[in-house]
Amino acid sequence: MTVHEFLTRIAEIDDAALRRAVAQALAVERPCSPESYRRLYLRVLMIVGNGSTCASRIAHRAA
């Protein structure tokens, strides 16, 4: 997932909900590589309920 794809998917999400989701995702893993940022984006989408089933499977497998 690219940053552009992530930003497109979160465009309609309330700012407070997005901040909470990012904080929760960062509590799991602090990103330090391209792959870890991908996992962060997927976790945020799963937390806010905007992730697909495929994204959920990818994030669980990568964790």
- Taking the domains of the chain in order of start, what are their residue ranges? 3-62
% of the chain at pLDDT higher than 70: 78
- The model's pLDDT over 21-43, given as tens digits with 9 standing for 90+, comes to 999 999 999 999 999 999 999 99
Tell me: pLDDT of 3 over 80.
Answer: yes
Whole-number Å distance between alpha carbons of 58 and 13: 22
Tell me: pLDDT of 46 over 70.
Answer: yes
pLDDT in the model for residue 41: 92
Residues 59 and 42 sit within 8 Å (Cβ to Cβ): yes
pTM metric for this prediction: 0.73
Whole-number Å distance between alpha carbons of 14 and 54: 23
* Stronger pLDDT, 62 or 10, i.e. the higher one: 10
Residues 33 and 56 sit within 8 Å (Cβ to Cβ): no
